[in-house]
Structure 1
Amino acid sequence: MNRKQRRLYFVLLGLLALGAAATLVLTAISDSLVYFYTPSDLVSKQQPEGRRMRIGGLVQEHSVIRDGERVAFVVTDLRHSLPVRYAGVLPDLFREGQGVVVEGRLGADGTFQASEVLAKHDEKYMPKDVADALKKSGQWKPPAPAN
């Protein structure tokens, strides 16, 4: 084996190792991505069952049902609604009619099993993703001006 052939083998081996490393990194990144959807997005696009995602919208009025630490409520973008179940302590700012983002998995029965619930910070704040989705759906109501 001459010098040119050895050099070619080393370059090919290096490219193979680089390709394997890139594949591992991309696989790890795609496994940790959590996509954001609105209830309307879930209706229009078929999402794989059991995939981790975030759902954003408003907590529908008169939909919160508490049973100890278990809570069931409905997230809506004012076009479509999605039932959510959560076991745990809700944030202090969680209430009906307010913006919320829930993270978890969509079950086979169409109910979203939340592992985390994120509520807004004050009466003027709404998560950017939720506000953008409401604007896109034409249901955006800008916050009332402060007095």
Structure 2
Amino acid sequence: MNPVRRRRLLWVLLLLAAAGIAATLVALALQRNATYLYTPAEVLRGEAGEHARFRLGGMVEKGSFQRAAGSLEAHFRVTDGDAQLPVVYSGILPDLFRENQAVVATGSLRDGTFVATEVLAKHDENYMPKEVADKMGAAHKKHDVASDTAGSGN
């Protein structure tokens, strides 16, 4: 092989190696930033993993919101109608945040409490994130079927 062809082959191999490394780095970065949405029932069943970062979706349970005077740390429970999960968030909550409204929080589970790093609230009267609505609807259907089956043993 003459020196010109060898140099071209070397450049092509270096370009392919660089493209492979870049693609791997991009895939790793996207995978690390991917967060999945779970309902409280799914989290309590262990589907989210103990220390994984994920999104928790559901409704802020009525009567569960607490904040100490002069503190930015908020405590509340998120429910999907079947299960409740305590949430702790330190920061300024969105203006639309309130009890009995849809919420999506990003964070991780620590000692049975969801520690949120970000909280998003619904934006109008009829809105609930589609993922949350779908998962809550599926959870209720499973619950209704289980109730019907348990009640039919007469």
TM range (shorter): 0.7 to 0.9
Partner of 2:135: 133
For 2:99 and 2:48, locate their aligned partners in 1 and report how far apart those are by CA, in whole Å: 28
Deviation per residue, 1:79-109 (Å, 9 max, x gap): 12211001122223222211111112221x0
- Quick one: structure 1 residues 103 and 63, their matched pair in 2 at CA, closer, same or farther if it must change by over 3 Å? same
Aligned length: 137
Among 66, 77, 87, the residue aligned to 1:84: 87
Q: RMSD of aligned C-alpha atoms?
A: 2.0
- Quick one: structure 1 residues 66 and 128, their matched pair in 2 at CA, closer, same or farther if it must change by over 3 Å? same
For 1:56 and 1:41, locate their aligned partners in 2 and report how far apart those are by CA, in whole Å: 10
For 1:92 and 1:22, locate their aligned partners in 2 and report how far apart those are by CA, in whole Å: 40
Unaligned runs of 5+ residues in structure 2 are 142-154
For 2:93 and 2:140, locate their aligned partners in 1 and report how far apart those are by CA, in whole Å: 29
Structure with the higher fraction of residues in helix conformation: 2
Post-superposition offset of 1:47: 1.0
For 1:116 and 1:80, locate their aligned partners in 2 and report how far apart those are by CA, in whole Å: 21
| TM-score (normalizing by structure 1) | 0.80
For 2:55 and 2:97, locate their aligned partners in 1 and report how far apart those are by CA, in whole Å: 16
| TM-score (normalizing by structure 2) | 0.77
For 1:52 and 1:83, locate their aligned partners in 2 and report how far apart those are by CA, in whole Å: 16
Identity percentage over the alignment? 50
- Quick one: structure 1 residues 59 and 127, their matched pair in 2 at CA, closer, same or farther if it must change by over 3 Å? same
